[in-house]
Structure 1
Amino acid sequence: MSGLRPAPIDVPDAELSDLRDRLHRTRWPAPLPAPPWEAGADLDAVRGICRIWADEYDWRVRERELNALDPALVTVDGVDLHVFRAGSQRPGAIPLLLIHGWPGSIVEFRYVIPLLTDPTGGGPAFDLVMPSLPGFGFGGKPAEPGWGVTRIARAFHTLMTEVLGHDRYGIAGGDWGAIIASRQAQLNPDAVLGFHTQLPLLGGHRQEWWGAGPDEHERAQLERLDAFDAIGRGYSGIQSTKPQSLALAQTDSPAGLAAWILEKFHDWSDRGLDGFDPDDLITNLMFYWAPRSVASSAAIYYESRTDPEGRIHPPPEPPAGVAAFPHEINPTVRRWIEPHYRLVHHTRMPRGGHFGALEEPVLYADDVREFFAGIS
């Protein structure tokens, strides 16, 4: 394991010129005879984002913003982790590991960073540590198998303790970040103060979740889950079994990459693409395009197939807090969660979906602060 090495992002001009050229030369298919988004990405919406990406978007502005987050590389377990950090000026700030998922990046945390490091009013503030997942973004790509949830959780614990020197720290995250946070808390109960998630893991058979019978709210959640199981999990099946085949096309075509990822931002949020700033969507795409990390990021699905305990494991001992966004892809009903966690905090959010920190940054940050205020 090495120490932190400054690692600002600097995409060559030639790469940006090549990107614009590829976007301008996209071979667009004819739309299928289906309603928008029903058969996959809506071509008009993807065209619109790609036009902005090619002709209006300024990567250098976003690159400077990202480089203000003190990016550094550190080698842990043979892989270079790319770590971004934002410290608080408040004494006694809580070290907080913020973990993104797929198809996201640390771009998801853009708006919550100031709300967590420099909040108004009382309550805790945080020193934020935001690593890209191994194989994601501008960090290292694992060169050997085995980088599933458990190995990532151990690497991130090493980052927080041995590299950054935090004996105790909190964790928050969604998607794979939620799964990794849960595993990390289970493996390191003496170090993890608590973990906040919006995607709790529910083991066992579904009939066990609701006991004597679901109420009206639970039935609605089950209907959403059944619908997602029926038509929404194809991406996971591909990335869990044959990720490299699709990644070849997405590494060659920025429009193809955009279609694959933008579909998820549309379907998994409660306002579709209209709920996001196009610049945020494009900056997130750049984390996959510029470092050619499409295949290595999808590999987390492939690797986790051989790490079943990474997803379903004994209930973690540290206290857990859940932000239940209504358009989350998996249900977050309190009594379904309680057998699987030491749940001390549960908030039914009025709006928002899978990308809660980006969709509803104020709601998300307030909930994280309320949870850690209650356990610190």
Structure 2
Amino acid sequence: MSIEPFEIPSIPPERLALLKERLTHAEYPNELEQDVEWTYGAPRWAVEPLVKAWLNDYNWETARAEMNRWHHYHATIQGLRVHFVHERSEKPDAIPLLLLNGWPSNFYEYHKVIEPLRDGDNGKQAFHVIVPSLPGFGFSEAPKLPGHGIKANGEIMHELMTTVLGYTEYMAHGTDWGAPIAKWCAKKHSTHCKAVHSSFPLGPAPTPTLHNLLTQPLRVAKLLASAAIGFDAVYGRGAAKLKSQSFVDVINDADAGYRCIQCTRPYTLGFGLTDSPVGLLAWILEKFHNWTYHTSGKENTEALPETITVDEFLTVVTIYWLSNSMASSTRIYYEFFNEKDLNNEFGPEKVKIPTALAYFPAELAKVPREWVEAGSNLQQYNEYDVGGHFPSLEVNELVVDDFQRFGKLLKTKKFM
């Protein structure tokens, strides 16, 4: 299997001219006269300055120069050309680390942590850092056939680490979709995937199934009790953040609206997000605003948190636009929603390899720690006071430290 060097490309002149024309002549939608903050979605006052920054101030070549400091490659895996960054550490005890992102992010989410993790900053644990673009995201080829969901992505990522790169053992980390993909590697390939780390809590509720009644009756009883006397009364205030009763439950969680359309009609949505760079920017901005940690009092008055710069946000957007991958990236929602055998494939058994969870307060969801413990071999659990859904962008130093502490634990206990 061949590995080909890859370089992040410049924007072709004709493509750049088209982008500037679209941004210059942007048409903005009608809005209410009353300020409704973010309740109707991304408002013009937040979108328009970013459109102007993209047009007048943003320089792709600056971002490109930073990204091209790293070693990029393409490899064909299961018929798809997959892009990945591979930064090998010079430290002899470095741990191979697979970093997986989700939507609406891309590999650039990790741009602040690649080098500190590779170099073992502060004299701590170092890692061989591998950051792929998921198929259909950024510079990886999009899936060509239906059914490319968690399982297919997990198999490709595992093959990347073992067959392509030759690592016999590795650690996997995931945010958003990267979390269940990393969990797939942990459950299905534990002879090679020796540890899993996540900032996106995945712990199934102990519902009264026969398996749960036999293996964790007390947890089942607590869940049933919470329905009668309240969740906080049983688990403690702040132990969980659960809005939806299902993945597409807009009745209880207005933020689930995007999931409904991407789970059911991603093709139709794709026309607007592909043809209009302003529409693309606004669709991504809503999530980067809603899912990040804002200083108290600024939640409704700033487009982005202080921890994410305009240039960083526009680099994420430009990668989607340049690679024409927004439409293909949304299809993972459809595949997941229709991946009927996923529960059977995962099965009721827990993740047996060492697991770490870092929880950040602006994350979309939180489950009680005991649910995580019931479903995994939880070795490290940390809750932080700042940060959100994109922690490697927002609070990169905390993330690096969390990885390094887990890596030291794995070495100390000889898990790796």
The counterpart of 1:328, out of the listed 363, 367, 376, is 363
Pick closer, same or farther for the CA change 1:18–1:218 going to 2, 3 Å: farther
Secondary structure of 2:84's match? strand
Of 7-16 and 173-182, more deviation after overlay is shown by 7-16
- Displacement, 1:87? 2.2
Task: Kindly indicate whether residue 46 of structure 2 is the aligned counterpart of residue 41 of structure 1.
Answer: no
Q: Percent identity?
A: 34
Q: What residue in structure 2 maps to residue 342 of structure 1?
A: 377
Q: What residue in structure 1 maps to residue 63 of structure 2?
A: 62
Letter in 2 for 1:263: E
User: Structure 2: how far apart are the matches of 1:190 and 1:295?
Assistant: 35
Task: Kindly indicate whether residue 274 of structure 2 is the aligned counterpart of residue 268 of structure 1.
Answer: no
Of 27-36 and 125-134, more deviation after overlay is shown by 27-36
Instruction: Please list the CA deviations of residues 239-272 of structure 1 after superposition, one character each: whole Å capped at 9, or x if unmatched.
Output: 1110111111111111101111100010011115
User: Structure 1: how far apart are the matches of 2:88 and 2:37?
Assistant: 43
Secondary structure of 2:352's match? coil
Task: Kindly indicate whether residue 405 of structure 2 is the aligned counterpart of residue 373 of structure 1.
Answer: no
- Displacement, 1:372? 1.9
Of 324-333 and 254-263, more deviation after overlay is shown by 324-333
User: Structure 2: how far apart are the matches of 1:268 and 1:224?
Assistant: 14
Asked whether the 8 Å contact 2:97–2:128 carries over to 1, the reply is yes
Secondary structure of 2:253's match? helix
User: Structure 2: how far apart are the matches of 1:150 and 1:158?
Assistant: 12
User: Structure 1: how far apart are the matches of 2:240 and 2:98?
Assistant: 31
Pick closer, same or farther for the CA change 1:205–1:19 going to 2, 3 Å: farther
Of 271-280 and 38-47, more deviation after overlay is shown by 271-280
Q: What residue in structure 2 maps to residue 299 of structure 1?
A: 331
Secondary structure of 1:30's match? coil
User: Structure 1: how far apart are the matches of 2:46 and 2:311?
Assistant: 14
User: Structure 2: how far apart are the matches of 1:51 and 1:288?
Assistant: 18
Q: What residue in structure 2 maps to residue 252 of structure 1?
A: 275
User: Structure 2: how far apart are the matches of 1:289 and 1:110?
Assistant: 18
| Bigger Cα Rg | 2
Letter in 2 for 1:6: P
- Displacement, 1:215? 4.3
Asked whether the 8 Å contact 2:63–2:315 carries over to 1, the reply is yes
Asked whether the 8 Å contact 2:201–2:359 carries over to 1, the reply is no
Letter in 2 for 1:343: L
Secondary structure of 1:317's match? strand
Of 210-219 and 25-34, more deviation after overlay is shown by 210-219
- Displacement, 1:218? 4.4
Alignment of 1:216-295 (within 5 A): 218-220=236-238, 222=240, 225=243, 229-271=252-294, 273-275=304-306, 276-295=308-327
- Displacement, 1:138? 1.5
Q: What residue in structure 2 maps to residue 30 of structure 1?
A: 30
Instruction: Please list the CA deviations of residues 138-168 of structure 1 after superposition, one character each: whole Å capped at 9, or x if unmatched.
Output: 1111111121001110111111001000000
Of 181-190 and 224-233, more deviation after overlay is shown by 224-233
Letter in 2 for 1:85: H
Secondary structure of 2:382's match? strand
Asked whether the 8 Å contact 1:96–1:170 carries over to 2, the reply is yes
Letter in 1 for 2:109: E
What TM-score, normalized by structure 1, do the two folds share? Answer: 0.94
- Displacement, 1:205? 6.0
- Displacement, 1:206? 6.9
Instruction: Please list the CA deviations of residues 218-255 of structure 1 after superposition, one character each: whole Å capped at 9, or x if unmatched.
Output: 44455663598421111111111101111111111111
Secondary structure of 1:233's match? helix
Of 105-114 and 277-286, more deviation after overlay is shown by 105-114
Q: What residue in structure 2 maps to residue 355 of structure 1?
A: 390
Instruction: Please list the CA deviations of residues 124-143 of structure 1 after superposition, one character each: whole Å capped at 9, or x if unmatched.
Output: 10010100010010111111
Pick closer, same or farther for the CA change 1:206–1:67 going to 2, 3 Å: farther
Q: What residue in structure 2 maps to residue 182 of structure 1?
A: 183
User: Structure 2: how far apart are the matches of 1:223 and 1:305?
Assistant: 22
Alignment of 1:109-188 (within 5 A): 109-188=110-189
Pick closer, same or farther for the CA change 1:355–1:332 going to 2, 3 Å: farther
Instruction: Please list the CA deviations of residues 5-35 of structure 1 after superposition, one character each: whole Å capped at 9, or x if unmatched.
Output: 1221223122112111111111001223452
Asked whether the 8 Å contact 1:324–1:332 carries over to 2, the reply is no
Pick closer, same or farther for the CA change 1:366–1:222 going to 2, 3 Å: closer
User: Structure 1: how far apart are the matches of 2:206 and 2:96?
Assistant: 36
Letter in 1 for 2:391: G
- Displacement, 1:294? 1.2
Instruction: Please list the CA deviations of residues 254-295 of structure 1 after superposition, one character each: whole Å capped at 9, or x if unmatched.
Output: 110111110001001111513310001000001211111111
Pick closer, same or farther for the CA change 1:268–1:162 going to 2, 3 Å: same
Q: Give the total of aligned pairs.
A: 375
Instruction: Please list the CA deviations of residues 34-89 of structure 1 after superposition, one character each: whole Å capped at 9, or x if unmatched.
Output: 52211100211111111111110000111122222221111101111111122222
- Displacement, 1:180? 0.5
Letter in 2 for 1:4: I
- Mark the runs of 5 or more structure 1 residues left unpaired by the alignment: none
Asked whether the 8 Å contact 2:37–2:43 carries over to 1, the reply is yes
Pick closer, same or farther for the CA change 1:201–1:69 going to 2, 3 Å: same
- Displacement, 1:189? 0.7
Alignment of 1:203-214 (within 5 A): 203-204=204-205, 211=223, 213=226, 214=231
Secondary structure of 2:258's match? helix
User: Structure 1: how far apart are the matches of 2:17 and 2:158?
Assistant: 39
